[in-house]
Every structure is written in C-alpha cells, then in structure tokens.
Structure 1
Amino acid sequence: MVFCGHCQDDCPYVKDPDNGIICCGICGKVLDPNIYDDGPSFVKDSSGQSRLRGSIIKAIEDGCSISRERTEAKGRDEIWQIVHGLHVSGGDDIICTAHNFYKLALDNSFTKGRQTSHVAAACLYIACRRGEKPYLLIDFSDYLHISVYVLGAVFLQLCQVLLLGEHPIVQKLVDPSLFIHRFTERKLTYMCVLIYKIQKTSSYIRIH
C-alpha cells in the first residue's frame, strides 16, 4: 500500500515491470514521476578509478511512443462513446477516471488479445462503481451487444490485474437506492406516454 495524494488514502499500487513506473491502483496517478535504473552502473573518475553511479534513465514526461498514444486515444474514444451512449453523468471527470484505469490496463498488457470496447467498458464500470453511478454491468453489455458473462469475466480479470480484488469497489454491494431515481424516471416517462395515447384514443372515439 502507498499513500496517494489524489485519493487522499492508502491505496494499492501498480508497478510496470518493464520500466518501473509506479502508479496508484485506484485512480492511476503516477506516484513516482521518474524512472530510475535498478541496477548499478560504474564510471571512471579523473584518476582512472571506477566508481558506482546511479543514473536517471528517463522521465515520464519524455512521453509514450506513437503507438502507445494511439492506443490510449482509441481507448478514450471508446469510453467517450459508451458514456454518451448510456448518458452517464459526470462528463469529463468520469471519462478521465475510466481512462486512467484504461492506461493502467495498458501498462499491464491487459489489452492484448481483448477487444478495446470490452476493456473500455470494464474500466468505465469500475469508475461508475467508484463514483456510485446507477449502472449495472448488464447495462454495458447490452450497449455493446455482448453477453454479460463475457464482460463480467473481463471486469473480474481487470480487477485482479489492478489489485482491486479486496477493494470496496469490488467487495461492496451496490446500493439499490442509487437506482430508484433512474427507474422511477423511466416509469414516469412510460406512464406519460400511456396517458397521452389513452387521451388521443378517447378524443378519436368522441369524434367518431
């Protein structure tokens, strides 16, 4: 566990074994902005003697490769489409949170062999649970026209990779009160349409 200034809590961390980047496992914030060489290096000083020297290989600000940037952009586009397709509230905040999870998935090579839309939906679902949004996994699977079991498997595997198995995001039961407003609004809309049709039919009967 490490303390994350963004989450203001002790959080699990994710370390990329390839380049040593350490990120918060909840929000994706980079906790160590520099990547250091894990192994020792030796240089000769002015007297010709060898001495140990540590060196910074590169900084995270050096940027990602073009391929990485394209992959990140593709994931963000998928998240944006799902957010607007399901009318998820939160705007850029919920998109950024989900995208941070997506970038962590990339860091762990989780996207290899999986469809971008499936990973994006799983990341967005985690973000929705974190923000207590009234959405179920089946809402995302219906939108993508895939089995909820397929998306559920991706979600659970992603939680394992991001060390979220014991986190309240996964363990805590969804509060049913979150869905009251959503489903009552649907019911009211249905009733209004029904009343309109009844009134229209009644008017037609009177005329004829």
Structure 2
Amino acid sequence: MATRSSCKNCGSFDLEIDPCRGDTVCTICGIVLEDSVIVSEVQFEENAHGGSTAIGQFVPNDSKGGNMTIIGSFTYGLQKESKEITIQKAKSELSRMCQLLRINQHCLETALTFYKMALNRHLTKGRRSSLVCAACLYIACRLEKTPHLLIDFSDVLQVDPFTLGRTFTSITQDLYITLPLVGKFHI
C-alpha cells in the first residue's frame, strides 16, 4: 500500500509531480518539494583554436524537450529553452512593475512563482504577458497585505482595470488561490 506525500509547507496532498522536469510542486502554496532529480554530467573537449566545447546536449532542469536557443559564447555551447527565456522576460517585467509601485523583493519572488505555475498550466496562452505578470504580482501583494490595489497595476500598464481584473480572476480560480479580502484602511 503506497502512502501519499503531503506538502511540508501547507499539508496539502494536491502535488504536481513532473518526471520530465524532475520536480514535485504543491499546487496550493506553490512550494517546490523536489527539484533537479535528473542528474546530468558535462564533458568538454578542446578544439583546434584552443577553445572548449561541450560534448553532448545541454538539458536544463525543467526541460521538456522544447525549442532550444543558443546564448552566450558559442565556444561553451550554452543553450537555453524558450520556457526559460519566457520566465526571464516575466522576471524583468515584474521587476519593472515592482520598481514603479515600490513593491518589495519578497512579493516579486512570490509573483514569479505564481507566474511559473500559470506557465506550467498553460494559463499564459492567449494572454498578454504583462497582464499575467501584473495579475501574479497583485496576487502576491494581496497575500502579503500590501496597500496596492488592482487599479495601481492597471495604471502602470495603461490598461482597462476590468481587463486586468478578468485575467486576475481567471488565474486565481485556475490555480485555486484563496486570497484575503481587501479591508478598509485606517488613516
């Protein structure tokens, strides 16, 4: 009889196990329980010009065999998947919004975790990346109970608050995120 694993953070049994990426993630709180289960080795060979090149193929931890693009120096043969590039762009967008709205680093990291969860569940398809980033950042701000409102994010993006609100509502529902209610602020 097999025992079910539970999240060490929230106790949930709703875990997403992805053998292709080699990780286990709690779908309730987003914590990564196992990571980089796949072990890889890198071997190098010297070319005629004295440079080094990697032998074989570079496989990132979260690889699913998607499109690969070459980055960095060609002599080292570094490659990066399109998913990683998407995450880097999202992190840049989140950083930009955090600077404009004066949001702390912890909220940025939490928002990036939510963005990765949305990306893994294909919730970003058909949506502008900036809207998904703003929705994820707003979720993080609500969880941390910062004074930021949805209209603050729509002002930064110069979009209709209802458009951003639909994206926010869809992502919170699809990721099963329960947020605290926005209360009255005492001045």
Q: SS in structure 2 opposite 1:153?
A: helix
Answer 1 or 2: which has greater helix percent.
Answer: 1
8 Å CA contact 2:93–2:133 kept in 1: the answer is yes
Question: Which structure 1 segments of 5+ residues have no match?
Answer: 37-59, 185-208
8 Å CA contact 1:16–1:107 kept in 2: the answer is no
CA distance in 1, matches of 2:17, 2:172: 16
Asked if 1:173 is matched to 2:181, the reply is: yes
Which has more radius of gyration? 1
Among residues 95, 102, 124, which one is paired with 2:108 in the alignment?
95
Root mean square deviation, CA, Å: 2.8
CA distance in 2, matches of 1:112, 1:62: 22
Aligned twin of 1:71: 86
Aligned twin of 1:120: 133
Aligned twin of 1:62: 61
Aligned twin of 1:85: 100
Aligned twin of 2:56: none
Distance 1:72 1:131, change over 3 A: same
Aligned twin of 2:30: 28
User: Identity rate of aligned residues, in percent?
Assistant: 35
Paired amino acid for 2:11: D
Aligned twin of 2:124: 111
8 Å CA contact 1:28–1:103 kept in 2: the answer is no
Count of aligned pairs? 147
Q: Which has the higher contact order (CA 8 A, sep 6+)?
A: 1
8 Å CA contact 2:150–2:165 kept in 1: the answer is yes
Scaled by the length of structure 2, the TM-score of the pair is: 0.67
Scaled by the length of structure 1, the TM-score of the pair is: 0.61
Shift of residue 27 of structure 1? 4.1
121-130 or 106-115, which moves further after superposition? 106-115
Shift of residue 26 of structure 1? 4.5
Asked if 1:4 is matched to 2:17, the reply is: no
Question: Which structure 2 segments of 5+ residues have no match?
Answer: 39-58, 64-79
